[in-house]
Structure 1
Amino acid sequence: MRETSPAPTILTWVVGPLQTSIYAIACTRTNEAVLIDAGGQAQTVLKDLKDQELTLKAVWQTHAHIDHIAGLPEIAQASGVPVYMHPDDMPLYRAAPQQAQMFGFAALGDLPPIDHDLSDGQTLKVGDLQAEVLHVPGHSPGSVGFYFKELGLFFGGDVLFAGSIGRVDLPGSSIEQMRASLERLKQLPDATQVLPGHGPATTIGQEKRYNPFMQGF
């Protein structure tokens, strides 16, 4: 009989003026963790990881909007870990100072280089945990989600929310791409838990039943 792996450790912070949810997921055997989006409160995030005796190994960015990268300069500098992001969001990343001004964020420090490009279908690991990268554009050209199939978890950034979806009226967004991405997410098992970039957790099944945008728009 296959031995069941212990449940991962998941930490959640809600940060910044847009109440952005950022996450850390850690393997309980190795205590290795990744941060999913570095949206702010860098010192709090780093302290909480240390207090939990977790070793940060990487930052995985779902996309490059300012509320998801505002803490990245400080976190990358303090930890020295590599940063992963989809290359289609590089124009947004380079425009971070303009984004900060537009949305009322404090001026950023120097943005770190993106160490690794994410691509659709790519496998990422942290300790014993394994995630598949799903490229789900629409909210931004390079939006991705991280699907932990064995755990039934999907960290989706700003693609799908409880009862709603990410904005499609921003530079680089696309209604057509969002429709295609939502159709793709419908193929995940209904029990898959969605941990979004804003608001409460939900499930794919819940959103298929009650989210009007999953019915077509």
Structure 2
Amino acid sequence: MLNHPWFTVQRIDGQTFAISEYGHWEKVHSFLLLGQQKAVLIDTGLGISNISEVTRRLTPLPVSVLTTHFHTDHIGGHGLFSDIYVHEGDCSWLIDGIQGLSIEQIRADLVRDLSLPLPEGFNADTYTPYRGKPAGLLSDGQMIDLGGRSLEVIHTPGHSPGHVCFYEKTSGYLFTGDLLYDETPVYAFYPSTSPSDLVRSWERIAQIPGVTKIYGSHNTLGLAPSIMADVEQAVKTLRENNLVSFGTGTHYFNGFNVRF
């Protein structure tokens, strides 16, 4: 498999790759999916190193970027690509900039708790999150055809207004962005988040038939579909105990947790 000083590339199957940043405390994953006519990159990571160098080494196909949501750790490499897509709910951040976090805080978070040296040439003091206009908008239920394989867009707000997941029915892969992952809390305590939307989105993905693997954007690469039963139970517990609101704290379940 491809060697890189910053990214860890792992083959999920013959046409699907995880591009991970384990040297950073957030353990961010981006995902490259290859079709017969084109490829898509789900998110572009932190922007600490050049992710397009990796995608070029993995495929000669044209690469479109599908954005799960517009937070700094998912759009760091967007400026390296020209064909970028985002849901309408997050489009204003793409064009006008990320709201609610100072540039000083963003830059500090990029370089704290590192376990690998920063790539030569990267300077957090000059880092600026990507801004631009998308090539198009993603919508709920939209099918994205790569040639020989396709992805369904599922609008799953809560962590951000325009957060989306991507589902490939033929493989059963569900790419959940920051809606669901293990170890560290799923965040829904910022003013731009919605605890009630997030719980509804959990409820929705738990009902998707045929899921074989859940690929969140942080921590463990690939969660077993059995976690969906735990998600359903979490939804029930949170609602029955009137915990679906800001300020109720961090709630722990079997293998994952959420902070409201």
Q: Which amino acid aligns with 1:19?
A: K
The letter for the 1-side match of 2:223 is T
Match of 2:72 in 1: 66
Counterpart contact for 2:182–2:219, Cα < 8 Å: yes
Q: Distance in 1 between matches of 2:185 and 2:166?
A: 17
Any idea what SS the aligned residue of 1:127 has? coil
Unaligned runs of 5+ in 2: 1-12, 111-123, 239-260
Partner of 1:21: 29
Which one-letter code corresponds to 1:35 in the other structure?
L
Deviation at 1:214, TM superposition (A): 4.7
**Deviation (angstroms), 1:130:** 0.5
Q: Distance in 2 between matches of 1:199 and 1:90?
A: 26
- Report what 2:177 is aligned to: 157
Judged with a 3 Å threshold, the aligned counterparts in structure 2 of structure 1 residues 131 and 216 are, in CA distance, closer, same or farther, namely: farther
Deviations 1:44-92 (A, max 9, x none): 422222222332330000000111112212x12xxx3x11100111243
Which one of 100, 104, 108 corresponds to residue 101 of structure 1?
Answer: 104
**CA-CA distance at 1:154 after TM superposition:** 0.9
Kept after mapping to 2: 8 A contact 1:188/1:204: no
Tell me which residue corresponds to 2:144.
124
**Closer, same or farther in 2 for the Cα pair 1:18/1:56, shift >3 Å?**
farther
How large is the Cα RMSD of the aligned pairs? Answer: 2.6
Please tell me whether the aligned partners of residues 64 and 89 of structure 1 are also in contact (alpha carbons under 8 angstroms). Answer: yes
* Cα separation, partners in 2 of 1:209 and 1:163, compared to 1, 3 Å: farther
* Within-5 A mapping of 1:46-57: 46-57=52-63
Pick aligned residue for 1:208 from 217, 229, 253? 229
Task: Indicate the residue corresponding to 2:244 in structure 1.
Answer: none
Structure 1 pair 49–42 and aligned structure 2 pair: CA distance change class (3 A):
farther
Give, in whole Å, the separation in 2 of the partners of 1:182 and 1:58: 27
User: Are the equivalent residues in 1 in contact too, given 2:151–2:168 (CA < 8 A)?
Assistant: yes
Q: Is the 8 A contact 1:59 1:83 kept in 2?
A: yes
d(CA) in 1 for partners of 2:199, 2:100: 28
When Rg is computed on C-alpha atoms for both structures, the one with the higher figure is 2
Contact 1:162 1:207 in 2 (8 A): no
Residues 111 and 102 of structure 1: is their aligned pair in 2 closer, same or farther, counting only changes over 3 Å?
A: same
CA 1:101/1:212 → structure 2, altered by over 3 Å: closer, same or farther? farther
CA distance in 2, matches of 1:53, 1:23: 13
Alpha-carbon distance between aligned partners in 2 of 1:186 and 1:120, rounded to the nearest angstrom: 16
Superposition TM-score, scaled by structure 1 size? 0.82
In structure 2, what is the equivalent of residue 37 of structure 1?
Answer: 43
Q: SS in structure 1 opposite 2:132? A: coil
How far has the Cα of 1:115 moved from its partner? Answer: 1.3
Paired amino acid for 1:173: T
CA displacement, residues 97-145 of structure 1 (integer Å, 9 cap, x when unaligned): 8644333244226523111111110111212110110000010100000
Instruction: Report the Cα distance in structure 2 between the residues aligned to 1:185 and 1:20, rounded to whole angstroms.
Output: 21
Counting matched residue pairs gives: 205
Q: Deviations over 1:150-202 (max 9, x none)?
A: 11011111001136762001231111001100110110236431111111111
Q: Which structure 1 segments of 5+ residues have no match?
A: 1-5
Q: Percent identity?
A: 25
More helix by share: 1
